[in-house]
Amino acid sequence: MGWCLYFCIYKCGIIKQREVDANILYIIKASEGGFHMIDTISGKLIKKLPTYALIDVGGVGYGIHIPISTYHQLSEPNETVTLFTHLVVREDSLLLYGFFTADEKRIFLALISVSGIGARTALAVLSTLSAEEFEQSVIRDDVKRLTGVAGVGKKSAQRIILELKEKFSTQTTFSEIVPLHGEEVKEDAIMALVSLGYKRTAAQVAVQKAEGALGSIYGIEDLIKTALRFLS
């Protein structure tokens, strides 16, 4: 038997505990700063989709919401992976978000700290812009680029810039895009666009146009970002 997984959720002055067998230990505690937990999860990758990963940890499958940037960097199923994680606690659910790099997680946490910006929009940002591109857009007051993200309007973009500009430094490290090809990649790109709120028919047309614009060598992130330009 593995470690014990404890969920300690503070609500109305009552601590509720739930024990689950696993190979990792989370301790969630209530404080004025919110809920805290161990930052990573490691295990065998069972399944990956552009916005979702299933990781087996000691026989327990963890469903993790991910941005497209993380999907692109994940290994193939049945290999061991490690993701930086953040747990969002709601009244009726526990939602786990995962990121391939600490930098992605940092951007995600910064975004959900902005008034009116939720986890879904934060994932859309990371699925459209790299961490570096997002930071530079904020630093340079680039409202136009931020509004290119599905779900981010002009007022939201201005609020993001207002609340995050002073927090960001310009020194970060990022992974390179690995060229990919084939129908599977195009389908993944279409699925990713649909998950961002676009209709499948529109996503298919945009991906086809993006493929023509990019030529013969491109990565899935390139394909999605270019397709988004045709959708905007």
d(CA 104, CA 100): 7
Q: Is the pLDDT of residue 181 over 70?
A: no
Q: Which of 32-46, 81-95, 167-181 has the lowest mean pLDDT?
A: 167-181
**pLDDT tens for each residue of 124-179:** 999 999 888 898 889 888 999 999 998 899 999 999 999 998 888 544 444 334 44
Contact 68, 228 (CB under 8 A): no
Residue whose C-alpha is closest to residue 221's, from 105, 68, 50, 47: 68
- Kindly report each contact of residues 194-201 with a partner whose C-beta sits within 8 Å and lies 24 or more positions away, as own/partner: 195/50, 195/51, 196/124, 196/127, 196/128, 196/150, 196/151, 197/150, 197/151, 198/150, 198/231
Per domain, the residue ranges of the chain are 3-99, 102-167, 183-231
CATH 1.10.357.10 assigned to 3-99: no
Question: Which of helix, strand or coil describes residue 118?
Answer: coil
d(CA 120, CA 196): 9
More confident site: 105 or 221? 105
Fold of domain 183-231:
Helicase, Ruva Protein; domain 3 (1.10.8)
**pLDDT tens for each residue of 50-62:** 999 999 998 999 9
Question: How many CA atoms lie less than 13 Å away from 165 in the CB half-sphere?
Answer: 12
d(CA 225, CA 127): 8
DSSP element (H, E) containing 214? helix 200-214
CATH for the 102-167 domain, from 1.10.10.10, 1.10.150.20, 3.30.450.20, 1.10.1660.10: 1.10.150.20
Per-residue exposure over 17-56, b if at least 16 CB sit within 10 Å of its own CB, e if not:
eeeeebbbebebeeeeeebebeeebebebeebebbebbbb
State the pLDDT at residue 11: 36
- Percent of the chain past pLDDT 70, that is, above it, reads 75
d(CA 56, CA 231): 36
- Percent of the chain past pLDDT 90, that is, above it, reads 34
Length of the chain in residues, anyone? 232
State the pLDDT at residue 136: 87
DSSP element (H, E) containing 43? strand 40-49
More confident site: 208 or 47? 47
State the pLDDT at residue 216: 56
Q: Is the pLDDT of residue 101 over 70?
A: yes
